[in-house]
Amino acid sequence: MKASDNPGQDVRIQQYLAAVKGLIRGEYDIQIPTGSLDDTGCLGEALMELGQWIRKHGLEMEELQLITVDINAGLTLEDILEKVYAGFRNIIPYNRIGFSLIEENGQVVRAHWARTDLPTMLISKGYQASLAGSSLKLILETRQPRILNDLVAYLKNKPGSETTSLLVEEGIRSSLTCPLITNGKPVGFMFFSSSQPNTYKNLHIDTFQRIAAQLSTIVEKGRLVSELATQKTAIEEQNERLKQLDEQRNTFLGIAAHDLRSPLSSIRLATDVLMESEKWMPDTERENLVEIYIQTVHRQTEHMMTLLNDLLDITQIESGRLSLHTQEISLAEFLSQAASHHDQLASTKGTRVVMGEVAEGMAQADPLRLRQVMDNLISNGVKYSPLGSTVSVSAEKVGKDWMISVKDQGPGITEADRQRLFQNFARLSARPTGGEKSTGLGLAISRRVVEAHGGHIDVESRPGCGATFWFTLPG
């Protein structure tokens, strides 16, 4: 029956019915006459407002859907959060977004990501706070977002809140804190923050909650992918490290076999001669020969022990197992003892090891490892210096640090030698002046020990002018 068939019926009713059918079809921009503001007219006004609300809500849902599709395209957690920061501006206002995860069996909330368009960011990745006794604990219990629209006033009421204090210092004045729930379990928080007070309304909570479950799942997916990527990178790095160690082991074994062959051959030759000489050599001559060959065996076994000790040290260092036991030491006393010891050893070459100027004071070092460095540097100075020369040891304060120097009168170091000076098994063009042996590992070990102390080692030298090896130590 049409309105014209019932003269008593208001013609607007039919228009309103048509408008409702239009809304069902998605025609939200309805324009219908309301006439006088009687009950029927008010109904017409309400229908037009409803149309606008449905239109706005529909567009918002479309935008949210597009955003979540875009966010879901992100692979790692970082990708996903960057897309959140770029895409949410039209639906939730903010100057800053932070993302934190709940860790350590629900005891700690730790910041994993944050972005801001403000000049200062004080709460960034790695910042953490205890959940016990915090306002975030209540958010987890209720699982409802929280609005704080005046952080300055909130801080006055809770002056002990370090996080709020830092946010206010950043320039943040209002915040919307949203819990992220995955599979019924809280996993973290999304923090929307604005530089303006009174920014957030309940409609922003409603907007977030429409996609909260989906967003939480996407974020959790990203977190798991990021963890897997981190683990994959760590495994690849470990595999590469193991490969390098395996190559170094093979190198060490090859060099050890090569370097041990010569002293072992000398020892075997000496023992063979001694065993055979018993058959044909007079006792008086044989006594002299025994003394000579015992000295040979002693020198060669010393060289083998040095090589094996250096190999063990460099293997330990390369595998990351170098541990230091530092303590305060009197540097003047320590260096004096090292110089005195090597002065006695160098006397067979007519070489002197003397103390130069050493400032008074204490250094922080592992005495055993530091002695290893000094033994390497001083013995090298003696080894490559001519007979009757002098090697001097000195130390000075440079700011808060120490600089220790060992100066020799040897042939100096060429630029080509300098490039490989502190590498494993470095063989230099200079030769020991007294026929001493070298493992090629002493300076490499010294460099790693000095660096483990937080210092630096280098050399100053010109060919024909000797060399000064120096290194730094923390005071």
DSSP assignments along 271-295, one per residue: HHHHHHHHHHS-HHHHHHHHHHHHH
CATH number of the domain bearing residue 134: 3.30.450.40
Q: Verify that 328 and 296 share a domain, yes or no.
A: no
Asked if the structure places residue 161 within a domain, the reply is yes
87, 67 contact by CB (below 8 A): yes
In the three-class reduction of DSSP (H, G, I as helix; E, B as strand; rest coil), residue 77 is classed as helix
Which amino acid does the sequence have at 70?
D
Q: Verify that 99 and 162 share a domain, yes or no.
A: yes
How far is 396 from 471, CA to CA, in rounded Å? 11
Q: Verify that 164 and 114 share a domain, yes or no.
A: yes
Supply the pLDDT for residue 285. 72
Q: Verify that 340 and 466 share a domain, yes or no.
A: yes
Domain boundary (71, 100, 120) is at 71
The per-residue b/e assignment along 192-229, b for 16 or more CB within 10 angstroms, e otherwise, is bbbbeeebbeeebbebbebbbeebbbbbbbbbebbeee
Q: Verify that 58 and 100 share a domain, yes or no.
A: no
* Tens-digit pLDDT string for the chain (475 aa): 444 455 545 677 777 777 777 777 767 666 776 666 677 777 777 777 776 676 666 666 666 566 666 656 655 677 777 877 887 777 788 999 998 988 888 889 999 889 999 999 999 999 999 888 888 988 988 889 999 999 999 999 999 899 999 999 999 999 999 998 887 888 889 899 999 999 999 888 887 777 667 767 767 776 777 777 788 888 888 888 788 777 767 766 766 665 666 667 777 877 877 777 777 777 777 777 777 778 778 777 876 777 677 777 777 777 677 788 899 999 999 999 999 988 988 888 889 999 999 888 899 999 988 998 998 899 889 988 898 899 999 999 998 899 999 999 989 888 888 888 888 777 777 788 767 766 677 888 889 899 989 999 999 998 888 999 999 998 7
How far is 82 from 113, CA to CA, in rounded Å? 9
Asked if the structure places residue 213 within a domain, the reply is no
Q: What does pTM read for this prediction?
A: 0.47
197, 173 contact by CB (below 8 A): yes
Phi, psi torsion values for 105, nearest 5 degrees? 55, 40
311 sits in which H/E element:
helix 283-318
Check residue 380 and give left, alpha or beta (phi > 0: left; psi -120 to 50: alpha): alpha
Supply the pLDDT for residue 34. 62
Q: Verify that 104 and 196 share a domain, yes or no.
A: yes
Give the count of domains, the chain. 4
270, 293 contact by CB (below 8 A): yes
Which amino acid does the sequence have at 361?
G
Q: Verify that 34 and 98 share a domain, yes or no.
A: no
Among 9, 7, 17, which residue's Cα sits nearest to residue 43? Answer: 17
Q: Verify that 275 and 379 share a domain, yes or no.
A: no
Task: Cite the DSSP H helix spans in 27-133.
Answer: 39-72, 77-87
Supply the pLDDT for residue 3. 45
Which amino acid does the sequence have at 453?
H
Strand positions, DSSP E, 86-173: 96-103, 108-116, 128-130, 146-148
Supply the pLDDT for residue 86. 80
3-state secondary structure 178-245: EEEEECCEEEEEEEEEECCCCCCCHHHHHHHHHHHHHHHHHHHHHHHHHHHHHHHHHHHHHHHHHHHH
Q: Which domain holds residue 26?
A: 11-71
Asked if the structure places residue 377 within a domain, the reply is yes
Q: Verify that 326 and 470 share a domain, yes or no.
A: yes
